[in-house]
């Protein structure tokens, strides 16, 4: 898990197993992933 680049797409994958229907997470403690976006240098 972590930052993965696949077919020119950037993916962020966290650990554990969960679903979107029920707010339950298995195999990993809760976490917050912070993604900071910014313009490329010189733009």
Phi-psi region of 29 (alpha: psi -120 to 50; beta: other; left: phi over 0): beta
**Which pLDDT score, from 0 to 100, does residue 20 have?**
67
CB-side neighbour CA atoms (13 Å) of 12: 6
DSSP character for 27?
Answer: S
Per-residue pLDDT at 1 exceeds 70? yes
**Which pLDDT score, from 0 to 100, does residue 4 have?**
93
Q: What distance in Å separates the CA atoms of residue 39 and residue 17, rounded to the nearest whole number?
A: 33
**Which pLDDT score, from 0 to 100, does residue 2 have?**
86
* Mean pLDDT, range 3-14, rounded to an integer: 90
At 28, the pLDDT band (50, 70, 90 cuts) reads: confident
């Amino acid at each position: 898990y972590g930052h993965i680049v696949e077919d020119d797409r950037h993916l962020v994958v966290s650990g554990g197993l969960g679903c979107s229907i029920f707010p339950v997470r298995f195999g990993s403690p809760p976490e917050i992933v912070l993604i900071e976006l910014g313009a490329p240098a010189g733009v």
